[in-house]
Amino acid sequence: MKKVQFIDLGLIDYQQAWDYQTGKHKELVDRKMRNRDLAKKGLEEEAQRHYLIFCEHPPVYTLGKSGSTDHLLLNEEQLKEEGFQFYKINRGGDITYHGPGQIVGYPIFDLECFFTDVHKYVRYLEEAVIRTLDHYGLEGIRVKGYTGVWLDSEGWLPKRKICAIGVHLSRWVTMHGFAFNINTQIDHFNNIIPCGIDDKDKAVTSLQKEIGREVDMEEVKTILKQQFAELFDFDWTVSEVST
């Protein structure tokens, strides 16, 4: 059974978290390379480590490598006045918002220990969120042509995106991940064209908005961790960290 260390960084500056996960990513890649050398020499290999990192960020907009700065509707001065940070980063996807009340997940997995299929990996991230939503009586769906998890249109309500996904892989080691809106301040998405989607029949939502009450973040994390463990077939341990 594979082991994954769960790390909760709490509320952390985006750059600090980016540096942290980049360090963990390098650790896994370096260990993989050492193991290849050990295998060639017929020596015993090190056990690969994997991490599942959860955190929240102060208000920040991040733009993926395939995104457009036109989808950020604030200029540099407005960003500063409103207290938002902005980063261009190396994940896939377009622009999104991170802020308090949102679970941001960074799986640092060596997929060669699980399966080497990027599309399957993204589907598993979506599935973990879909199963978590089911616990709250909501049916999460996928929308053809878009990543992430949505709630279907009903009555006057459009399709609503509740979880965005953007990943990066190098040597089959993952980083970045997903942003799951729990008690997120949804009006902050009004400053961007979320994920570059400017369709009138699509919107952004949160778990709090959908079920009409504030949600216990720790409860959601516990459920979400369990879904990851079942989907990826691993046991997890909790790590105490300092950044």
d(CA 4, CA 7): 10
For residue 98, the surrounding DSSP H or E stretch is: strand 95-98
- Among residues 55, 113, 163, 195, the one annotated as catalytic is 195
- Break the chain down into helix, strand, coil percent, rounded to 5: 35, 30, 35
Sign of dihedral through CA atoms 121, 146, 65, 217? negative
Residue 195 annotated to the active site: yes
d(CA 197, CA 130): 21
CA distances from 22 to 7, 93, 144, 225 (A): 14, 18, 31, 21
Q: Which of 194, 192, 204 is nearest to 72 (CA)?
A: 192
Which residues does the annotation mark as catalytic?
195
